[in-house]
Chain A
Amino acid sequence: MFYQSFGTVIILLAVTAPSALLFGFGGATLARSRLFPLRWIGKIYISAVRGVPDIAFFLFFVIALDQGFEWLRHQAFCPDWPDAIRQGNDFVVCTAAKLPLGNSPQYVHEIYGFFTAVLTFAIVFGAFAANVLYGAMRAVPKAQIETAQAYGMGQGQVFRRILIPQMWVYALPGLSNLWMVLIKATPLLFLLGVEDIVYWARELGGTKQAKFSAYPHEDWRMQYFLFLLVFYLTFTKLSEIVLERVMKRLTHGQGTLGGVT
C-alpha cells in the first residue's frame, strides 16, 4: 500500500501538469483577449488564486466542486424536488444526483476523490501557469509579430504559428519553477482525502494500528517521514537536472544571453 501510494503521487503529477497547463493556457489567452469581459475573467482568475494561501483553495475547491456537480445533477435529474437544497447545516440533494452514487463500489469513490483532487490542483496551478504564460506571451519580441503581420498572416495564424512556438523559451524558466512547486504541493493531497504517501506513512508508522497487527513495532512515523523527505529531495533534484538540459536545448540558437552558442 505504501509503495502503491508513490504511484498515486506520480500519476497525479503526470495528469495534473498537462491539465494545469491547459487551464493556464486558457487563462492567459483570456487575460489578453480583446473583449473586456473575457479579459476581466482571465485577470480575476489569475490574481484571485495567487493572493490567497493555496491550501485554503484546496480545501475550498474539493467541497465546492463536489457540491457544484451534485447541484447540477440535481437540477438535471430531479427538477420537481420540493425541499430546499441547503437545509440549515446540511446539503441535501436527491439520491439520483448523489456523486458518486450511493450504491457504487469503493473504487468509484476513490477515483472520484482523485478526480476532484486533480481538478483542484489543475485550477490552482492553472492560475500560476497562466501568469507565467501571460508574461511569456508578452515577452515575445514585437518585431516578430509585426513581421508575421507584414507577411499577411491573420490574427489566428500569428497566434498559432508565431506566438505559441516563440513563447516557450520565455515561459520555460517559470514553468520549471512551477513544476518544482507542483512536486512540493503533492503531499497536500492528504488533506483532500486521497490516501497518498502521507496518509500511509502516518497509518503504517503509528503505534495505534501496529498494536493489533501481526507486526507490532514502535512509533516509526519519524523514519517514514524521513524517507519521504529523501524521496522528495531526490525527485526535485532529478527534475532540476532534466529541466536544465531541456532549457539548454530550447535556447540553442536563440538570440538571448543563454543561447549564444
Chain B
Amino acid sequence: MSCGQTILDYGLRSLGYGARLLPKTDFTLCQHFTLIGSGLIWNIYFGFLALLAGFFIANAVALAKASPRKAIRVPAEWFILVFRGSPLFIQFFLAYFIFLRLKQQGILPWLTAAQFGALLVLVLNTAAYSAEIFSGALRSVPKGEVEAADAYGLYGWSRFRRVIWPTTLRLAWPAYTNEAIFLFHATTLVFFSGFPAWQQRGDALYYASYFADKTFNPFVAYPILAFYFVILTFTIIGVFGFINKRLNRHLPQEARPKLRYRPQVIR
C-alpha cells in the first residue's frame, strides 16, 4: 500500500472518516506518521477551544478574585484552589463519573462523550490556572497608570477597558503563553482518563500508545509524537509571540518583555 493511499485511509481516522479498521500488523513508518498526526486534530480541537473559552472565564474569575465584596471573592478563590490544587487526571475521572451519573438520570447525556465533557473540564481547568496568572498581573498594574486614568476623568468600565485591562494582559502574557503550551500538553490526558475513545477515535497519544502496545517498540511511535508536539509548541510560541508584539507595540524595541519558554506547570 502506498503512502498516499495510507494518508487517504487514515488521515481523518480520528474523526471517523476513511478506513474503519486500524492497521493490525506490518506497521509502516507512514502509518505511524499519518495516524498520530490524525490524532493531533483532537489535541488541537481541545486545546484551541479550551483556550478560547478559558480566556474569557479566566478574566471574569480574576476580576471576581480582586473584588472587595466577599460574596464574589470567596467563590472565585475556591474555584481556583480546587482546580489548581488537584491533579487534572483526577478531575477528568471525577467529571466522567459525575457525567455518567447524570446520564443515568437522563440529564445532559452527551456530556459523557469526550469532545464535550472533557472539553468542559479542560475549559474550567485552564480558566483556573489563567485566572491565577491574570489576578497576579492585575495586582501588579502600576499605581501611576491608574492615577493617570483618574486624572483624565476615566472611571468605571472605560477605565478598566482602556487602561487596566490592556496592562494586565501585557503583564500576564509571557506566563499565559506557558499556560497555553501546557494546556496543549494536558490534552493528551483526555483518552487516558475515564473518557472512552469511541470507535478508536483517539488523540495523538492514544494512537502512539496503540502502536507501542502492538509493536512493543516504544522507540518509533513516541519520538514521532514528540516531533509533532515540538512543532505544535513552536507554533504556539509563534502565535503568542505575535500577539505579544502587538500588545507591546507602543514600547521601544528594547523595552518589550521577551517571551521565554519557561514551563513550570504540569497538571
Name A residues whose Cβ lies closer than 8 Å to a Cβ of B: 48, 50-57, 59-60, 63-64, 67, 86, 88-91, 128, 174, 177-178, 181, 183-188, 190-191, 198, 201-202, 205, 219, 221-222, 225-226, 228-229, 232-233, 236-237
Contacts and interface: CB of A to CB of B under 8 A. Distances in A.
A88 B91 CA distance: 39
Interface in B185-206: 185-186, 188-189, 192, 205
B151 interface: no
B86 A232 contact: yes
Contacts of A51: 226, 229-230, 233
B265 interface: yes
Contacts of B186: 53
Contacts of A229: 82, 86, 90-91, 94
A187 B90 CA distance: 7
Given A222-B97, A229-B94, A59 B89 contact: no
Given A63-B212, A90-B216, A91-B217, A55 B192 contact: yes
Contacts of A232: 85-87, 90
Contact of B216 (A53, A57, A91, A174): A91
Contacts of A88: 25
A205 B93 CA distance: 12
Given A55-B192, A56-B188, A222-B98, A188 B89 contact: yes
Interface string B223-257: 00110011001000000000000000000000000
Given A51-B226, A51-B233, A174-B264, A225 B88 contact: no
Interface residues of B, number: 43
Contact of A55 (B91, B93, B189, B233): B189
A53 B93 contact: no
A89 B24 CA distance: 10
**Candidate in B185, B189, B205, B218 with the most chain A CB atoms within 10 angstroms:** B218
Contacts of B230: 51-52
Given A59-B209, A222-B98, A54 B185 contact: yes
B219 interface: yes
Contacts of B218: 59-60, 63-64, 67
Interface in B50-65: none
A20 B100 CA distance: 38
B216 to A, nearest CB: 5
Contacts of A177: 264-265
Nearest to B221: A60
B161 interface: no
Given A219-B97, A226-B94, A184 B266 contact: yes
A181 B91 contact: no
B97 A225 contact: yes
A55 B209 CA distance: 11
A108 B233 CA distance: 40
A51 B205 CA distance: 15
Contacts of B98: 222
27 contacts: A50-B261, A51-B229, A52-B230, A53-B185, A53-B205, A54-B185, A55-B189, A56-B188, A56-B208, A56-B222, A59-B205, A59-B209, A59-B218, A59-B222, A88-B25, A89-B214, A91-B216, A178-B264, A185-B266, A187-B90, A188-B89, A201-B93, A219-B97, A225-B97, A229-B90, A236-B85, A237-B85
Contacts of A186: 87
Given A55-B188, A56-B225, A181 B85 contact: no
A174 B263 CA distance: 11
Contacts of B225: 52, 56
B81 interface: yes
Contact of A233 (B86, B185, B217, B265): B86
Contact of B229 (A53, A184, A188): A53
Interface in B168-197: 185-186, 188-189, 192
